[in-house]
Amino acid sequence: MSSTLVFGASGQLGQCLKHVAAERNNTGLVFLPEEEANILDMGMLQKAFEQYKPAYCINCAAYTAVDKAEDEVDIARKVNKDGAENLAKMCGEYGTTLIHISTDFVFAGTGNQPLVETDEAAPISVYGLTKLEGEQVIPPHTNQYFILRTSWLYSEYANNFVKTMLRFGREREEMRVIWDQTGTPTYAIDLAGCILTIIESENQQYGIYHYSNEGVTSWYDFAHAIFELGNVTVRTVPIRTTEYPTKATRPAYSVMDKTKAKTQLGVAIPHWRDSLKVCIGRL
């Protein structure tokens, strides 16, 4: 089996890919250690691509600290834009297919209809802007790419909303959670499965795709479901975004339409609540 290089292997999605690859007995993924996988170091990338001559490259590496990015613009741009461009250059040079992870934050979130891939991107945060720039620098270097925009990622691994809510819910009597931001949670194990399906099926319908779980919810209702499924008793209070100010502005509505992913990638997408139940069962 030809090899697949995974960058950002120690992050949440990287760990989920490791989990799903083991379940599927896919031995072709190479999870590079951090000291060999700096996407800002072209010498390092050249060495890795020359050694493995990969058929695929998965970019899970990203600067994802949404609020910190407002102050650390240069670092966020280096990782999210320059890093993506470096990988795209290497993929173009070696004939490697790039699978790059992006975000719903590329949208302003001002509408009320599920977002399709061709809707105008208009980010309202530094994080969203640098992730959009990362998408835009890929096509000039290679036409063999899949850009997967995802949202509200969580899993058993790393730090995420689900694990934070379970911890806080056990420690506190009351949780105040935003109800006027709407989107869809994504179980990173499901996203990892989608990525491996692209690779295993040798799909060549390149382009931008939206992938989250099915359904629609608010952060408040998501938290409520986490407490219910996790058997945590805590009073949950809905609050407006204005009552919880953050440095970066979040999209108010970022529900994505997954029709293209389902038809062209051939993936079945579970409802967010069903996947949440699986995750909490594993936790």
- For the chain, the C-alpha Rg in angstroms (whole number) is 18
Q: Which of 268, 270, 267 minimizes the C-alpha distance to 187?
A: 270
> Bridge-partner residues for 5, per DSSP?
30, 57
Residue 211 is among the residues annotated as catalytic for this protein: no
> Bridge-partner residues for 4, per DSSP?
29, 56
Say if residues 150 and 16 touch (Cβ distance below 8 Å).
no
φ, ψ for residue 28, nearest 5 deg:
-85, -10
The one catalytic residue in 127, 187, 209, 253 is: 127
> CB atoms < 10 A from the CB of 243, how many?
11
How many Å apart are CA 171 and CA 181, to the nearest integer?
Answer: 25
Contacts of 212 (CB under 8 A, 6+ apart): 104, 150, 151, 152, 183, 184, 185, 186, 256, 258, 269, 272
Which residues are the active-site residues?
A: 127
